[in-house]
Amino acid sequence: MGLEIPCQVQFGGKRYQGKALLEAKEILFRGDIRLKIPLSSIKKVKAANGELRIKTPEGLAIFELGPKATVWQEKILNPKSLVEKLGVKPGETVSLRGSFAKEFRESLKKHGAKISATTNLPWTFFAAEDSRELAGVKSITEGMRGADALWIVYPKGQKSITEHDVRGAGMRAGLTDLKVASFSETHTALKFVIPKSKR
């Protein structure tokens, strides 16, 4: 989920009331007018005097965000990488179980994370392409301790594996799901941890 704030927007010479939402790939405005501004389409962005001025191919959109204008500008100009969104910090060690693209491995290394084949690590990423592979979740869970996290990465929009399947596998292994993230154009990731009462 992105950043959401009630505000006014000036667009096309008029002012509209509603809510603005900053997502990973777009800005949405819902209210007296509906706007969808892909971040990739933004030609210029500037925050000043509580206003976030965004130049788009369709015209200038001025979001009246108050002190949040500067925060939004920073997030638009310097978006977090996938590894940062997933919560991995530089210097931490992760375990990759299953098949992951070369780009993801390289992004982990670029971020300063270490990849290890061992278990009992703070971060485990498990790639499952169909529901049958979820049987491996239980063995991963047996090595988890404290605040260790398990991200299960699976294809989007496939009947062979669904969010219901993934969530069920985590729950049967005694885990709690915390967060969903878009892993790539084709895959989603669901984060699991050990319930605090069992740590």
pLDDT (tens digit per residue) in 77-95: 988 889 998 999 999 999 9
Of the chain, the percentage scoring pLDDT greater than 90 comes to 83
131 — pLDDT class (breaks 50, 70, 90): very high
Kindly report the pTM of this predicted structure: 0.72
Query: Structure tokens of 1?
Result: 């989920």
Residue 1 confidence (pLDDT) above 50: no
User: Given 60, 77, 94, which residue is the final one in a domain?
Assistant: 77
Contact 143, 175 (CB under 8 A): no
Domain that holds residue 26: 3-77
Spacing of C-alpha 96 from chain mean position: 18
CB neighbours of residue 133 within 10 Å: 18
Phi, psi for residue 141 in degrees, rounded to 5: -60, -35
64 & 97 share domain: no
Residue 121 confidence (pLDDT) above 90: no
23 — pLDDT class (breaks 50, 70, 90): confident
Residue type, 132: R
What pLDDT digit, counting tens, does each position of 57-66 carry?
999 999 999 9
CATH of the domain at 59: 2.30.29.30
Averaged pLDDT, 160-177: 96
